[in-house]
Structure 1
């Protein structure tokens, strides 16, 4: 079974499984297709965290495909440019592109050759694919910016200065040639599968791709600050980086063990919410009623406040994970959930008597530049992809690729993709867990999920920036507490809060604000407002892009995809 945010990626992954590949082969093939067919959601210049489980292993593993800040990127470098926040576009926020290395690390657990899994992406990039409505809306939103400032992007995404129409055939011959050259060089170097993967990594991080990136960043380009800047990323940054394997962070909840990636992402905030919700009788609450919406949202505000105060790259920051996830700490924090909505400042806790310090810097007025963050709540915001794969052997993959959006940064003409802007998530304030430092991973919002109970294993996740661990939490709660199957839990009405500081430039916050799909009903909206929530009623099918796949103790494989946007797709045989 394969489920993802785009039907062509799901079909590519399914084709790999039908050819005899395993879940890891299928996930890599689908991941590279997503780089082609959802270019407003991710690209080769972005990153990917993955949770995988090999059949026969005792526990899952994490692939960290999150690139690090350049060696030249420190707080002083940005302050010397007169910047208080790292811009959301251009070359300054570029970190090492981690997606390619992350996918190659996952492919080592597969069985198929590099050329076999990449051929789907090469065919779509070179032969064309129907451009989705989201991509068209994004290009429309940044067309004038491309024309005025980023000529290489205008040349790729505009036709004589005009944006494409929805479902128009889109080709990216430069990207197809980049992928194909990597494959050709790898196959010419060796007939061995692992050796070909090694050579592909060298081609990207030390060869022609790294050389083109290093040359590209020396050009001054306009960015979201309203001024042109060169980039800080250099050849040595790419040559010295590689994806890493880690153990997941886990929490037991109502008989399920839930696995997330570490605090270099927001992943543990999912677990913190579960720890808080352990003390409430969610079984007795209607799955989309006032009581559960209020309880879940108020718990989220507390967990995300801790994210802001305590999360960061654990190689640089001492993150008190054990204390944050402890029952005693959850019980202490749970006392702060009242009948009325919290509409004030963030209230982080002090796990293990740890000082709770929030960034002083607030949001700024957005200049004329565009393409700043995620999720897709406007025509020029970026977003993310997601995919889940299970196979007949019992292998499981959950991955959330993102970054390198077509509007992040100018297209590198010879490569067919642009750099990512993940550095915008660092703070330019000394002493915070997520303060900028050379070689450090930004604390991202990317957060794949895996849960298991006995022989049942479930991969799930969604795009959506700060909303990822809110929308996916709703899905999991409905699955656990209300007996919904994978698809029913996706289809149910969704909600989230934007109470806390956004992870993306310009770092806005909306205390007390609650976004709900209209399907929750007028009476529920009225009751939530009576409790003090600032309720924003969104479209009936507008929040989240969940997908999920599972292998059950009954021997069946299952998958489900999101109907919102009519682009997600689940396939199986």
Structure 2
């Protein structure tokens, strides 16, 4: 009882409590800050900073290291980044997400019995984006050579002591790994033994990956010998990966194992530099990537929440939790219906979705007393002077929100599809009981990593890379695990007309780096792992800092909650696996009994956990003192170093 009282006193009122103790110390630096998902990877960033690299150089080194360590990603995955350029005073968006390969159509996957593209294996792969994204960022905004930036990762590929988390992930996934010969040769270092994966602390060697990285460096050095510029030399390495012998082996290994990626797919792909989306929240400009990610969901939520006095409600009060939950449900409903690759969208909705007028209308839809199980997509088109071309879908959808008839609240099912109607009928009892099993939670929380870097010259970088996670299917003798991001596509426009799979199209991903400016200068960069929970947790982290005066370390450790009233973006093979769970909420164990009872009376179905957020990593730029604050959650392996 005494312990609970102390915990209440510590967590119950954060406002203005700058001296609040944390389980991990905040990081302080004057010159630079490097925070990412693994201690060794943070060290790689520190090494580059110590060699006088800038924040982009260091971020690229951390990215390379985390890929090499299989920190829920690998070199065949995707990279998404926001960069503040102090020379221009602008925020830059980097889109290095792969695309669906030739032959990837809804008919192809449906013909194999899928409701969504599969979670694992070659048919889950989009084209690799991380190599191209790293090369582009380094060439355009870094200062060092590819050889310098890759040096820590190459040393690790030659052999590093593998940590328990990755080693155990290999062991748990060995059923899949054994299906893929190149993966089996790399990961199962003790074949035939009871434990076939490496032991924690064992020196894990990746010869094929090291050879691939050496080829990239060799291409760069050959270009430099021909008197090419630093930028041209880095892009020569890029070309070898996407158009040369590395590409040929990648495609051979992919297709040998049943994948679709072609040489033309690799040669045609390229990273894109974009203009990020942003909104202003109480004088702070918050930046996110475009709607090929879920990032605008956070921006929509902030716009809606401006219409409420959150600070007066109090941190994690019943009213605060309810208001955020209802707001996020509305934003997620829009995400689930309107987001997708803008390059394939002739009728974009995003400007309407991010308008302040639309947000005010959505705020009026927030039920103040009870959970709205039927919260669905709004109509943003009138707010940009257009007629909604998908209005017939929305009208049909509103007829399917009455749970008394066994219809799934918050979802959308086409009337003409009898199989879908039967699926919903079968699910009615599941929703009534609000069953959320461990497999569902794994799909909801499925991780990635984040990379945050800042330096004294004003460069600030936020990256949320992912893809090619364990159990990964390695493409031939490249040592590179293929992405599994195709699973984030849908196969029916009834689910999301903007995100139906097509060759050359990017899936709508959960990956969501974040940057915020105050008075036109960097204020915060932040990221988190955790699938569909990412922007939920980043929203709460941001509000912890802005509304409740927490430091970045306090905010990363603060108790969050999660809504499950959304369509999952990852995992599962059927519609049933991804359907929303209306009213389902994950609360921290320290939630008071009073709040628990109040939420139950408001129609929520409660579950609890000691950790209710993926590890948040963040950097606060303290302009008043000319210093940097680093924060990293008090669980997981995420780690930071500052100087």
Instruction: Name 1:307's counterpart in structure 2.
Output: 335
Corresponding residue number in structure 1 for 2:477:
414
Asked if 1:324 is matched to 2:324, the reply is: no
1:401 aligns with 2:465: yes
1:523 CA displacement: 3.2
**CA distance in 1: counterparts of 2:171 and 2:372, whole angstroms:** 36
TM-score (norm 1): 0.91
Pick from 187, 197, 219: which aligns with 1:157?
187
- Given the alignment, which residue of 443, 451, 454 partners 1:387? 451
What does residue 168 of structure 1 align with? 202
* Structure 2 Cα separation of the partners of residues 525 and 173 of structure 1: 53
Residue 437 of structure 1: CA displacement? Answer: 1.4
Residue 481 and residue 382 in structure 1: after superposition, are their counterparts in 2 closer, same or farther (change >3 A)?
closer
**Alpha-carbon distance in 1 for matches of 2:373, 2:319:** 20
CA distance in structure 2 between the partners assigned to 1:379 and 1:244 by the alignment:
28
Q: How far apart, CA to CA, are the structure 1 residues paired with 2:174 and 2:464?
A: 27
Question: Is the 2:445–2:614 contact (alpha carbons within 8 Å) kept by the matching residues of 1?
Answer: no
Task: Write the distance in 2 (CA, Å) between the matches of 1:53 and 1:414.
Answer: 37
Which structure carries more helix by proportion? 2
Which of 293, 303, 306 is matched with 2:321 structurally? 293
Q: CA deviation at 1:155?
A: 2.3
Cα offset, 1:434, TM superposition: 0.6
What is the Cα deviation at residue 375 of structure 1?
A: 11
Q: Return the alpha-carbon distance in structure 2 between the equivalents of residues 469 and 524 of structure 1.
A: 23
What's the CA shift for 1:279?
0.7
SS in 1 for 2:260: coil
What is the alpha-carbon distance in structure 1 between the residues aligned to residue 499 and residue 308 of structure 2? 32
Q: Distance in 1 between matches of 2:235 and 2:265?
A: 18
The alignment partner of 1:500 has SS state of: coil
Q: After the TM superposition, which residues 397-476 of structure 1 pair with which residues of structure 2 at under 5 Å, given as runs?
A: 397-408=461-472, 410-430=473-493, 432-454=497-519, 455-476=521-542
1:530 maps to 2:608: no
The alpha-carbon deviation at position 208 of structure 1 amounts to: 1.9
Distance 1:418 1:378 in 2: 21
Q: Retained in 2: the 8 A contact 1:344–1:512?
A: yes
Q: Pick from 259, 264, 272 the counterpart of residue 300 of structure 2.
A: 272
Aligned residue for 2:157?
125
Question: Structure 1 residues 81, 378: CA separation in 2 closer, same or farther (over 3 Å shift)?
Answer: closer
TM-superposed CA distance for 1:132, in Å, is 3.5
Contact 1:140 1:379 in 2 (8 A): no
**CA RMSD, Structure 1 to Structure 2 (Å):** 2.2
Does the CA contact (< 8 Å) of 1:131 and 1:170 recur in 2? no
Find the residue that maps to 2:590 and give its secondary structure: helix
CA contact (8 A) 1:386 1:462 kept: yes
The answer as to whether partners of 1:298 and 1:341 remain within 8 angstroms in 2 is no
After TM superposition, give the deviation of residue 309 of structure 1 in Å: 1.0
Note if 1:481 corresponds to 2:547: yes
Deviation (angstroms), 1:58: 2.6
Shift of 1:458: 1.4
The alpha-carbon deviation at position 274 of structure 1 amounts to 0.4
Equivalences, count: 550
> TM-score scaled to structure 2, two decimals?
0.82
The 2-side partners of 1:46 and 1:467 are apart by 20
Moved more, 319-328 or 79-88: 79-88
Deviation at 1:417, TM superposition (A): 2.1
CA spacing shift, 1:168–1:534, aligned 2, 3 Å: farther
- For residue 302 of structure 1, give the secondary structure of its aligned residue in structure 2: helix
Three-state SS of the structure 1 residue aligned to 2:35 is strand
Deviation at 1:378, TM superposition (A): 4.3
Question: Which residue matches 1:243?
Answer: 271
Q: How does 1:129-148 map to 2 (within 5 A)?
A: 129-133=161-165, 135-147=166-178
The answer to whether structure 1 residue 57 and structure 2 residue 88 are counterparts is yes
Matched, 1:207 2:244: yes
Where does the alignment leave 5 or more consecutive residues of structure 2 unmatched?
1-32, 383-387, 394-410, 414-419, 428-437, 573-577
CA distance in 1, matches of 2:480, 2:440: 20
State the shift of 1:267 in Å. 0.9
SS at match of 2:629: strand
Q: SS where residue 315 of structure 1 aligns?
A: helix
The alpha-carbon distance between structure 1 residues 534 and 380, as it changes in their structure 2 partners (threshold 3 A), is closer
3-state SS, counterpart of residue 520 of structure 1: coil
Paired position in structure 2 for 1:284: 312
Aligned to 1:552: 622
Which residue of 487, 495, 505 maps to 2:571? 505
8 A Cα contact 2:562 2:612, kept in partner: no
CA–CA distance in 2 between the matches of 1:97 and 1:146? Answer: 20
More moved, 494-503 vs 83-92 = 83-92
> Structure 2: how far apart are the matches of 1:477 and 1:271?
12
Q: Give the C-alpha shift of residue 196 in structure 1.
A: 1.6
In structure 2, the residue matched to 1:31 is: 63
Q: Give CA deviations for 1:461-490 in whole Å, capped at 9, x if unaligned.
A: 101111110001110001110111111111
Structure 2 counterpart SS, 1:232: coil
Q: 2:444, 2:531 within 8 Å by CA — same for their partners in 1? A: no
